[in-house]
A and B are shown apart, each in its own frame.
Chain A
Amino acid sequence: MHREKAKIKQGWTRRAPAGARVLAAVLLAFTARAWAESGTATRELTLYEEPRAESRAMGKLAKDAKFELVKRERFWALVSSSGPAGAQRGWVQSFYLTWADTPTGNAPSASRGLAEIVGLGARRNGNVTATLGVRGLDEEQLKSARFNAEELNKLEGYGVQAPVAARFAAEVPLEALKLEYLAAPAASVGAGAAGGEGGR
């Protein structure tokens, strides 16, 4: 039985089409690139021992400091950086980070398939719009739009009443909570400088 399995495995390797081997190599290359993802802090940040603001502060990551991503958890990033004081490592929240070497404009995340990373999901990408015949939006197109009663009727037909939505939420279940809206920050220190008009 064991030998049979080995034989099958060996057979697959030998018979693997050249395309699959190339694909495997590309996958490895892209995966390695994702691991080596690097970025910059847009302001001075506290490095935490764990991905929680209540955990122990390990030091500071200076504004404009370069770092390498080690791993992510929710909206936290474990980063390592080598500065004047030597190598540093700790968790920071992702609000104030910009990223370099982003091959497709997508964040590496557990929920994203490898196919998408290597472009096998290219149908999803905006740059194949033309081949799919799906229109993009531009201002001229918007300005010249004419009222479409048929589509509006369809849209209104999809609407649901609150009890339907509540049953839908109960399937998960999602539990409604009471909490206040967040106040506007008094002054956004460096936030504007972080992005600028042109974005990144």
Chain B
Amino acid sequence: MMRKTIGTVLLAALLTACLPAAQAQGFGNLLRQIAPALPVPGLAPQPAQRQGAPLALPNLSETSPEQEVAIGKQLAGDLLGAVPLVKNDAVQAYVNRVGRWVAAQSERPDLAWHFGVLDTMDINAFSLPGGYVFVTRGLYQKLSNEAELAGVLGHEISHIVMKHHLKVLEKSKLVGVASSLLSSQVSSRNALGNAVAQNLLGNGAEAVARGLDKDAEYEADRMGVVLATRAGYEPYGLPEVLEKLARMKPGDDGMALLFKTHPAPQDRLGRLGDAMQNKLDRYGNGKTVEARFAASSGAINAAR
């Protein structure tokens, strides 16, 4: 056991040292050369493989739910290294209840969903694979009721349901190796293993700064509205938030990253209007839930 651990530490150290070269020549080949026994999904040993033959890289659909959660956890830890949570248990508990209820209406109700309010006045929200969702204090304080919060969380939950970020990571073709490291015994007990995985994935905080393509954002808007409506909220929470954002400018404080990572809010509103038309008006009896939200809003204003 001890020998195995030492071996994996040495492997990890070697991987870290060789990383640029590994990325240049194909990580799978290098991995086979130095660690043929390391279990990597989609990279089963292929003794007959010719030198220079295309790599049998992980199939995109083969990232298991466990690996997805391991990746999300790593990236969430990175993001929290950039911005901590608002120090208020009541607010965090409240957001987790609203978020979990909205997520329960999705096609992935059984993920271990986690929601956090980040202590920054920047106006934004983020999601990471495996059920990690964040909204900033700056955006939270722009909201007027629980239906608006549900709409914002619904948008982020939709990214996770559709695995938008995971698909971007999978395109790097190294996610299989990284997720294998993260979900193995190596990562949970070994910082170096994590460091290797992190190098492979890229920094999670940076990943959210890159954003997704516009179509993924429009899709998450359409789905987020429906998730909030399914949860019993009034359907126009998310459009109300988008309208508030549309009244701001890219140069306004706290807006730069949002405008960089998302289509312009007015554009999103137009697309959402085209999709919604009056199709959800029959659900106009949905709730906005003012009082409970106001209490949480008071708590976040008091939190330092």
- Residue in A closest to B202 when the chains form the complex, CB atoms: A143
Q: Are B231 and A174 in contact (CB under 8 A)?
A: yes
- Residue in A closest to B110 when the chains form the complex, CB atoms: A162
Give the interface residue-count category, chain A: 35 or more
In chain A between 72 and 115, which residues have their CB closer than 8 angstroms to a CB of chain B?
Answer: 74-75, 93-96, 98-99, 102, 105-107, 109, 111-112
Q: Are A137 and B97 in contact (CB under 8 A)?
A: no
Q: Are A136 and B223 in contact (CB under 8 A)?
A: no
Query: Is B268 close to A, CB under 8 A?
Result: yes
In chain A between 170 and 189, which residues have their CB closer than 8 angstroms to a CB of chain B?
Answer: 171-185, 188-189
CB within 8 Å for A53 and B233 given contacts A126-B254, A155-B85, A188-B274? no
In chain B between 265 and 284, which residues have their CB closer than 8 angstroms to a CB of chain A?
Answer: 265-281, 283-284
Q: Are B231 and A176 in contact (CB under 8 A)?
A: yes
Say how far B240's CB is from chain A's closest CB, in angstroms: 7
Neighbour of B233 across the interface among A105, A174, A183, A199, CB < 8 A: A174
Q: Are B97 and A123 in contact (CB under 8 A)?
A: no
Q: Are B270 and A105 in contact (CB under 8 A)?
A: no
> What is the CA–CA distance of A29 and B297 in the complex, to the nearest angstrom?
27
Q: Are B136 and A94 in contact (CB under 8 A)?
A: no
Q: Are A159 and B209 in contact (CB under 8 A)?
A: no
Which candidate, A1-9, A17-25, A59-67, A145-153, is the interface stretch facing chain B? A145-153
Query: Is B246 close to A, CB under 8 A?
Result: yes
> What is the CA–CA distance of A137 and B217 in the complex, to the nearest angstrom?
20
Q: Are A181 and B77 in contact (CB under 8 A)?
A: no
Q: Are B101 and A166 in contact (CB under 8 A)?
A: yes
Query: Is A142 close to B, CB under 8 A?
Result: yes
Q: Are A126 and B122 in contact (CB under 8 A)?
A: yes
Say how far B274's CB is from chain A's closest CB, in angstroms: 4
Q: Are B97 and A164 in contact (CB under 8 A)?
A: yes
Taking CB atoms, residues of chain B closer than 8 Å to A42 are 266, 270
Q: Are B301 and A106 in contact (CB under 8 A)?
A: no
Taking CB atoms, residues of chain A closer than 8 Å to B5 are none
Q: Are A188 and B271 in contact (CB under 8 A)?
A: yes
Q: Are A191 and B270 in contact (CB under 8 A)?
A: yes
Q: Are A194 and B281 in contact (CB under 8 A)?
A: no
Which candidate, B17-25, B47-55, B113-121, B170-178, is the interface stretch facing chain A? B113-121
Q: Are B274 and A195 in contact (CB under 8 A)?
A: no
Q: Are B267 and A126 in contact (CB under 8 A)?
A: no
Query: Is B4 close to A, CB under 8 A?
Result: no
Q: Are B274 and A177 in contact (CB under 8 A)?
A: no
- Residue in B closest to A173 when the chains form the complex, CB atoms: B232
Neighbour of B81 across the interface among A134, A146, A185, CB < 8 A: A146
Residue among A111, A156, A180 having the largest count of chain B Cβ atoms under 10 Å: A111
Which candidate, B6-14, B32-40, B56-64, B255-263, is the interface stretch facing chain A? B255-263
Q: Are B256 and A126 in contact (CB under 8 A)?
A: no
Neighbour of B101 across the interface among A107, A129, A174, A195, CB < 8 A: A174
CB within 8 Å for A195 and B116 given contacts A142-B209, A177-B283, A200-B249? no
Neighbour of A126 across the interface among B84, B123, B234, B250, CB < 8 A: B123
CB within 8 Å for A106 and B287 given contacts A137-B120, A142-B205, A199-B265? no
Query: Is B299 close to A, CB under 8 A?
Result: no
> What is the CA–CA distance of A145 and B78 in the complex, to the nearest angstrom?
6
> What is the CA–CA distance of A54 and B113 in the complex, to the nearest angstrom?
39
Query: Is B295 close to A, CB under 8 A?
Result: no
Query: Binary interface profile of A, 128-143, with partner B (CB < 8 Å = 1, else 0)?
Result: 1100101111110111
Q: Are A98 and B275 in contact (CB under 8 A)?
A: no
> What is the CA–CA distance of A129 and B294 in the complex, to the nearest angstrom?
22
Q: Are A169 and B113 in contact (CB under 8 A)?
A: no
Q: Are A152 and B77 in contact (CB under 8 A)?
A: yes
Residue among B142, B194, B270, B275 having the largest count of chain A Cβ atoms under 10 Å: B270
CB within 8 Å for A96 and B230 given contacts A159-B112, A160-B100? no
Give A residues with C-beta under 8 Å from B. 42-43, 52-54, 74-75, 93-96, 98-99, 102, 105-107, 109, 111-112, 123-129, 132, 134-139, 141-149, 151-152, 154-156, 158-162, 164-166, 168-169, 171-185, 188-192, 194-200
Please provide the 3 A-B residue pairs with the shortest distance between their CB atoms, ordered closest to farther: A95-B273, A191-B270, A195-B267
- Beyond the given pairs A160-B93, A182-B223, 7 more chain A to chain B contacts, judged by CB atoms under 8 angstroms and listed by A's residue number, are A42-B266, A74-B284, A95-B273, A107-B243, A146-B81, A159-B100, A160-B96
